[in-house]
Amino acid sequence: MKINLQKKLVTLTPDTPEERVMLQAVWRLLIDCNGEARQLVPIGEFSPVKHHPAQFAIEGPGADNLPNIPSVVVDFDCKVYCDICNRIQDVKKGDSIPPCCGKLMEFMD
C-alpha cells in the first residue's frame, strides 16, 4: 500500500488485489449509502522503531453498531449487487465479495 501525504490530504493507493478489497471495505464502513460519514481516529501509539502497527478506531453515526462482516473469496468471476441500494459490481476470481450498506453484496442470478 502506498501512502501519500500532502498537507491535510492522505492518499492510500492499494498495490495488490487484496489491499484493494480491504480498502474498499474500509471505505464502505466509513461512508454508507444513507450518506452518514464516519471518521478514522488514531488510537494507541505508532512507532516504526518498535514495529507497532498504526491503529484507528471508527467513530461517528452508527459506529457502535457496525457489523462484523466476514470475508468471502469467490472462485469464479461473477457480478454481485446490493439489495438495499441496488449497486452492482464485478468480482474477479480470487477477490472477496465487497460489503455494501452494512452487509455482503449478493450474487446476481
Q: Which three cell numbers stand for residue 88?
A: 452492482
User: Grid cell 500532502 — which residue?
Assistant: 6
29, 31, 38 from 34: Cα distances, Å: 12, 8, 12
What is the per-residue pLDDT across 25-37, written as a single tens digit (0 to 9) for each? Answer: 788 778 866 667 8
Amino acid at 78: C
What is the per-residue pLDDT across 43-74, written as a single tens digit (0 to 9) for each? Answer: 888 887 877 788 888 888 776 666 667 778 88
| Separation of alpha carbons 8 and 61, rounded Å | 23
10, 19, 57, 76 from 39: Cα distances, Å: 13, 20, 8, 34
Radius of gyration of the chain (CA): 16
